[in-house]
Chains A and B, each alone.
Chain A
């Protein structure tokens, strides 16, 4: 399988201004040196807590906000800072579904306008009749009724609005879609519907997703690969089984154990690791391991710079202790 998306050493810093002449005081390192690849047709789940930079990653990849440093290779081409015609072309191939279907749809546009906007801008249609047909087809696919095409977003419920967002994103026949907390704002019974719709569309159109979410059970369901972020860095990355069955980083372990147990079996098997303290801010973070301040196993060595290292078959982790443990295990075998 070929890589559709390859991100190399991506950095996104936001300057913090202040003082009398508003000079730059420092930087919020929202995304700090991140590298990952997504293979065509797979789903990469990006998890982490609020403020860890997961949404910034999604937005930077799409060029919605310029990257500070690093390469973003889409189908082998570097698209960081693409402009003009090239940007236009990329915009067709890459789309995003936002979290909040209440604020991401223009309240003054009808559903028809919302869905057709991208196709018209990309000159993908052949006359009014063709456009109408394509919009109808998309609406049906996404579980909406074509009769509702002339309504406005406020006339729909949250779940239906998210269906509109999805139809709008899929209108330009993209290859890569970023789902930024696409189901977080929805009720539980509606979440399942939207997840299934995303899966249906993926199979039908051969899509690749970057699925950003803080909800581990949903990520576990939809993803093939998972990356865990903490304070702007990826601390662990691997296949779904590697991350959920054998989490190596203490943060991943704590995160997994923090999700409330659901069935009796889960409750029995689970031992909760409680983390001390709160998520620190990404404003001038420490040089070494960023998790060290909350880590139950922290040692003085953790203050040194950490590297993301491979444990086995693509299971990457940024933790000295996990790496040492893996080495010891390897020696024993």
Chain B
């Protein structure tokens, strides 16, 4: 398998919510790629469009007002935005599966774990109940669930948060998908349980070879999980870089602010560095670069237009006027 081969390519995606009197640009001209076998982290604060852009891939955004206004999402060369519902169903759960944040609401409380796990196998792989059960047990073992056979007959309410998330992961993996979208999979969990799940996901990644999009607001989790990171703010991509590069040499002022506003173990200052102001809400997003009202380097230009993306030879991409005017040397 070619490491550099692109599996998914999102180009100029625009996902808007259209109300009677206003248009909310939740995702506004977003582009990024996912390569085969890689884990791409998407990081950003609430309302930055990180979940919406990923749910757009399978058209899973649940709102009657949603409009895919432009751009394309190429999964293995086919545009999923143009697909019919029937074609999308063939992708969902088979080629691309999703791990949601809240495992209690993502699992159906009225069906047993086994019923829910087997659903995808019966639909996509046309397995018999007996074979499907065997496969489920195999995958529950993979996610280290004790007594997997008994687990099949249990209902989600009787499981702890960590166990539910394990079941979700097993469910996502069972059809051997090419891409897994993990939307804040550990946010609802306690730290020690989060550590277990992250460890498990890292181990499984090496075995399955699936690509993964890992959405989170937690920079620590991103730095442990992702190979490459996309930083989003106000519906736009600010910066894309390899994980190590991003944490050592963040270029966008927002990324820098985000990294510095977390106290690290060797920080002994008296106050934390702060990004002033508030996270903008969708209905009064500033013009130009959405970050400019909070940015220490903002100039007049920043309020007028969103900066063009600058791409460096090592793949580091940044959208900030500060670098558009600078010389070629990084």
Q: Is A90 positioned at the interface, with any CB of B under 8 Å from its CB? A: no
Partner of B199, one of A160, A254, A261, A274: A274
Q: Is A187 positioned at the interface, with any CB of B under 8 Å from its CB? A: yes
Q: Is B326 positioned at the interface, with any CB of A under 8 Å from its CB? A: no
Chain B 208-238, CB-CB to A under 8 Å as 1, else 0, gives 0000000001111101100000000000000
Q: Is A192 positioned at the interface, with any CB of B under 8 Å from its CB? A: yes
**Contacts A260-B223, A267-B223 hold; do A279 and B190 have CB atoms under 8 A apart?**
yes
Q: Write the nearest CB–CB distance from B119 to chain A, whole angstroms.
A: 26
Chain B 270-288, CB-CB to A under 8 Å as 1, else 0, gives 1111111011010000000
Q: Is A308 positioned at the interface, with any CB of B under 8 Å from its CB? A: no
Chain A residues in 8 Å Cβ range of B138: none
Contact (Cβ within 8 A) B190 A262: no
Q: Is A117 positioned at the interface, with any CB of B under 8 Å from its CB? A: no
Contact (Cβ within 8 A) B220 A196: no
Contact (Cβ within 8 A) A263 B264: yes
Chain A residues in 8 Å Cβ range of B247: 262-264
Distance between Cα atoms of A200 and B52 in the complex (Å):
37
Distance between Cα atoms of A276 and B160 in the complex (Å):
13
Chain A residues in 8 Å Cβ range of B195: 257-258, 260, 272, 274-275
Distance between Cα atoms of A263 and B262 in the complex (Å):
11
Chain A residues in 8 Å Cβ range of B266: 265
Contact (Cβ within 8 A) B224 A189: no
Distance between Cα atoms of A275 and B294 in the complex (Å):
41
Query: A212-241: which have CB < 8 Å to B?
Result: 214, 216-218, 220-221
Q: Is B329 positioned at the interface, with any CB of A under 8 Å from its CB? A: no
Contact (Cβ within 8 A) A192 B261: yes
Chain B 192-217, CB-CB to A under 8 Å as 1, else 0, gives 11111011000000000000000001
Chain A residues in 8 Å Cβ range of B192: 49, 254-255, 258, 275, 279
Q: Is B20 positioned at the interface, with any CB of A under 8 Å from its CB? A: no
Partner of B267, one of A49, A199, A221, A258: A221
Q: Is B85 positioned at the interface, with any CB of A under 8 Å from its CB? A: no
Chain A 41-52, CB-CB to B under 8 Å as 1, else 0, gives 000000001100
Q: Write the nearest CB–CB distance from B293 to chain A, whole angstroms.
A: 13
Q: Write the nearest CB–CB distance from B31 to chain A, whole angstroms.
A: 24
Query: B238-264: which have CB < 8 Å to A?
Result: 244, 247-248, 257-258, 261-264
Q: Is B162 positioned at the interface, with any CB of A under 8 Å from its CB? A: yes
**Contacts A157-B279, A221-B267, A262-B223 hold; do A189 and B198 have CB atoms under 8 A apart?**
no
Chain B residues in 8 Å Cβ range of A192: 261-262, 272-275
Chain B residues in 8 Å Cβ range of A216: 191
Contact (Cβ within 8 A) B263 A196: no
Chain A residues in 8 Å Cβ range of B40: none
CB-based nearest B residue for A50: B190
Partner of B196, one of A189, A261, A275: A275
Query: A118-173: which have CB < 8 Å to B?
Result: 157, 159-160
Contact (Cβ within 8 A) B220 A188: no
**Contacts A220-B263, A260-B218, A262-B220 hold; do A190 and B199 have CB atoms under 8 A apart?**
no
Chain B residues in 8 Å Cβ range of A259: 191, 220
Chain A 259-299, CB-CB to B under 8 Å as 1, else 0, gives 11111111100001011001100000000000000000000
Chain B residues in 8 Å Cβ range of A255: 191-192
Distance between Cα atoms of A193 and B191 in the complex (Å):
23
Contact (Cβ within 8 A) A261 B278: no
Q: Is B45 positioned at the interface, with any CB of A under 8 Å from its CB? A: yes
Q: Is B108 positioned at the interface, with any CB of A under 8 Å from its CB? A: no
**Contacts A195-B272, A258-B194, A260-B221 hold; do A220 and B265 have CB atoms under 8 A apart?**
yes
Contact (Cβ within 8 A) B272 A49: no
Contact (Cβ within 8 A) A274 B258: no
Contact (Cβ within 8 A) B262 A258: no
Q: Is B10 positioned at the interface, with any CB of A under 8 Å from its CB? A: no
**Contacts A187-B279, A196-B271, A265-B266 hold; do A274 and B196 have CB atoms under 8 A apart?**
yes
Distance between Cα atoms of A189 and B45 in the complex (Å):
8
Contact (Cβ within 8 A) B278 A188: no
Q: Is B180 positioned at the interface, with any CB of A under 8 Å from its CB? A: no
Supply 28 A–B pairs (Cβ within 8 Å), ascending by A: A49-B193, A50-B190, A157-B278, A188-B217, A188-B258, A189-B261, A189-B274, A192-B275, A195-B272, A199-B271, A216-B191, A217-B263, A218-B263, A254-B192, A255-B191, A255-B192, A257-B195, A260-B198, A261-B223, A262-B219, A262-B223, A262-B262, A263-B247, A267-B224, A274-B195, A275-B195, A275-B196, A278-B160
Interface residues, chain A, with chain B CB atoms under 8 Å away: 49-50, 157, 159-160, 187-193, 195-196, 199, 214, 216-218, 220-221, 244, 254-255, 257-267, 272, 274-275, 278-279
Q: What 4 A-B pairs come out closest when comparing CB atoms? A: A260-B220, A258-B195, A192-B261, A221-B263
- Besides A189-B261, A258-B195, A261-B224, 18 new A-B residue pairs in contact (Cβ under 8 A), listed by A number: A49-B190, A50-B190, A159-B278, A187-B46, A188-B217, A188-B219, A189-B45, A189-B279, A192-B274, A244-B265, A254-B192, A259-B191, A260-B194, A260-B221, A263-B264, A278-B160, A279-B160, A279-B190
Interface residues, chain B, with chain A CB atoms under 8 Å away: 45-46, 160-163, 190-196, 198-199, 217-221, 223-224, 244, 247-248, 257-258, 261-267, 270-276, 278-279, 281, 294
